[in-house]
Amino acid sequence: MKELVILTGYSGAGKSTAAGLLEDLGFFCIDNLPPEVTYQVASLVLPSIDKLAIVIDIRGYMFGNVKKAIAEVKERFPFTKVVFLTATKETLVQRFAHTRRAHPLSKQTTSIMEAIDLEIEMMKDVLEMADIVIDTSQLNPHQLREKLTKLLGNVETKDFTVHIISFGFKYGIPLDADFVFDVRFFPNPFYIPELRPKDGRDKEVKEFLKNIDGVNDYLYKIKSVVSFAISRYSSEGRRELVVAIGCTGGKHRSVYFAEELASQLEKENFKTTIEHRDVALG
């Protein structure tokens, strides 16, 4: 499903932070776009991507009719959402004082308060047509991320990828793993002569392991932890999780668990990739 967000709002209200968070949520962001080309750019980019965010700040309001441009985009792309970031005047003044940056309208005014008042007046029409208004006065970046994620829709499971790595502890733990699960406490097929040359993808090894007491319970616990982590990471804007499962040599038990975990996650519509790092070495 296509998504188009037009992000605007007062200078100092957090548009740069919000744009970065939208990128974390999978949006392709275009910053400081002149309003008169908004429709053309959206028409050019949207056929190639699913999520587009266009940032328009007060500089765009000075060089074009933003309200007209947004109305044109929303007529052509009805799934468009206009997100307007606001904050109290006191908060905006404090933020400019803290960053020591000049307000974009400082050349047209004699004080920061006058610049803020002028900006509020210039943006009032677009504020009225906004689909989502977020007051960032009391929000830190983490809280803003959570609010954006909830308002724009959580990352869907089909957009989240779980990369599963089977490995052998004797060859080292994968350094990029978010979670590492040890399966060495289950019987090792390596010590069964007819299973030794096979790996965890072979039918005989799978039959051997799935009938061992506790294997299915442990697999369920791993999946529960991973599923919970996905929901939390998604709310933080993460789109990928690396899960490593290790046995001694990385050929039988870890491979089996990796394959089974991927199968169960795929049934819940999660994207998965599998890497059997040490299967040829075990």
Report how far residue 136's alpha carbon sits from residue 15's, in angstroms, rounded to the nearest whole number.
10
* Residue 12 is labelled as binding a ligand: yes
Q: Which residues pair with 242 in a beta bridge?
A: 163
Q: Mean pLDDT per segment of 10 residues, for the chain of length 282 residues?
A: 92 92 88 86 92 89 84 92 93 88 86 92 91 90 80 61 95 92 97 95 96 96 93 75 96 97 90 92 76
Q: How far apart are CA 25 and CA 34, in angstroms?
A: 24
> Is 58 annotated in some ligand binding site?
yes
The whole-number pLDDT of residue 155 equals 46
9 annotated as ligand-binding: yes
Domain 3-152 superfamily per CATH: P-loop containing nucleotide triphosphate hydrolases (3.40.50.300)
The response to whether 48 counts as a known ligand-binding position is no
Task: Give exposure, 171-186, as e/b (b: 16+ Cβ within 10 Å).
Answer: eeebeebbeebebeeb
**pLDDT at residue 236 in the model:** 66
Distance of alpha carbon 66 from its chain centroid, rounded? 29
The Cα–Cα gap between 216 and 212 comes to: 8
Tally Cβ neighbours within 10 Å of residue 188.
17
Using CA atoms, how far apart are residues 69 and 254, in angstroms rounded to an integer?
Answer: 55
Residue 263 marked ligand-binding: no
pLDDT of residue 267: 87
**Annotated binding residue at 60?**
yes
Q: Where are the domains of the chain?
A: 3-152, 157-276
At 135, list the tokens.
């007051």
**Model pLDDT, residue 181:** 98
Query: Residue 14 annotated as binding?
Result: yes
Output the six-digit token pair for 48: 């190639």
What pLDDT shows up at residue 282?
Answer: 64
| Predicted local confidence at residue 108, as pLDDT | 86
pTM: 0.58
The per-residue pLDDT for 190 is 94
Residue 35 has what pLDDT?
Answer: 84
**Beta-sheet pairing, 80-86 with 132-135:** parallel
pLDDT value, residue 142? 78
Is residue 16 a known part of a binding site?
yes
